[in-house]
Amino acid sequence: MGFIALKKRDMGNEKGLLIIKHMEYSYFHNMPKRLIDQVKDVYNIGLYFGFYTKRGADYKDVDFYIAEDNVLNIKSSEKHRINFNGYNFIGDDFCQNTEKNRICKDYDFIFIGDASNRKNLYGVISAVNKILTRGQKIKILIINRINRRNLYHIILNARIRRLLSKIKVKDRNSITYLEADSSLGYLIPKNIIVALLKKSKALILVSRAEGAARVVAEALLLGLNVIGYKGSLGGTNNHLSSKYDIIVDDLSKLDTSMQYFMDNYDNHYRYKDINYSDLFCEKITKDKFLDELSSLLGYSSLQIKHLLRDKVFYNSLSSHNHFLPRDVPSNKKTDECISNASMYKLLCFSLNKSPNHIFLFGLKVRDFISNFFVLPKMILLKI
């Protein structure tokens, strides 16, 4: 991610602020100690967790963590954790609660995710098929993010298509199934996601693990109910209401919970009178986050609010705002530095120094060798 929130040159006698993502940490840790020490001399380093993580001891060479409750589980941690996540910085696109009860709903449920076992799309379609087999009516929109260049995704999506093909022809109009190919390098526009969510009664997200899924916050802001899974690791269930949302204990009985929601929607679930703006909208939460940063790191609150007044946090922690020069990140779409070479370039960029090209070439060779052996192993383990 390499989110340089505060540059050293703007901070006078204070350190700057560099935030890296947890999946980038191993590459950060691989860097020469001398280089890491140089960065630490001029930056406070934060480690952001976008996915459930459990470990026994603290991460070395970072100053603090950014993680929602239940996302980070460190047995014996001595470092401060700021209780925020990417879904605490959502833009105005989703802050439209006033229309939630006046819009005609075309779908009972909407699923946005992928075909991985973790997301449990196979279980969702199986539950829908059970409802249809009983002769009951349901309307569901499924948005499946696929990757045609990834063998793991190809195998899983073939499994999903086989399951869909087994649904009776007369029942297929109950399911709207869309595939979005991420390998092309495009994201579904926010305004399209907003429109589709507003046309749905409930988001169904029964993942076995998440960080703190932002789509849940987006759905709640737009007035949707959520069908979640009690056993899901991470922070996804943190803000679900026992009164208006349904948390399923047993995924084999997901169809029963979905049917219960549909039967009781008009009488109970439709008029959800909770406003989530204070929890999720950046225009409210940004100052809270900056106040906590100031308190933790000894910054002047007024100074960093002035310096960060135009910095958009929405999508920044999730790595989609492209702060870095295009030659730095290994993943140009997400700004992630998930190779030794790209992490080295990030740290050099943060210090305003040119990379040593001989050393950089050696890191690229190391990355190539590592990927050559690791990729087949990952594919086999996932299958």
- pLDDT means per 10 residues in the chain (383 residues)? 74 87 94 96 94 93 94 93 91 68 84 94 96 95 89 88 94 93 79 93 95 90 95 92 93 96 94 88 92 91 86 76 82 86 95 94 91 57 46
Domains defined for the chain, CATH in brackets:
3-89+281-382 (no CATH), 92-278 (3.40.50.2000)
Q: Beta strands 3-6 and 16-21: pairing type?
A: antiparallel
Q: What is the pLDDT of residue 161?
A: 95
| Helix, strand, coil tally for the chain in percent (to 5) | 45, 20, 35
* pTM strictly above 0.75: yes
Length of the chain, in residues: 383
The token duo for 182 is: 């991420």
Pair 40, 64: CB distance under 8 Å: no
Q: What is the pLDDT of residue 97?
A: 57
Residue whose token pair is 């204990």: 249
Residue 239 vs residues 118, 236, 275: alpha-carbon distances, Å: 21, 7, 12
Q: CA–CA separation, 246 vs 269, rounded Å?
A: 10
Q: What is the pLDDT of residue 381?
A: 46
Pair 1, 19: CB distance under 8 Å: yes
Pair 337, 27: CB distance under 8 Å: yes
Q: CA–CA separation, 157 vs 163, rounded Å?
A: 10
The token duo for 149 is: 């260049």
Pair 262, 108: CB distance under 8 Å: yes
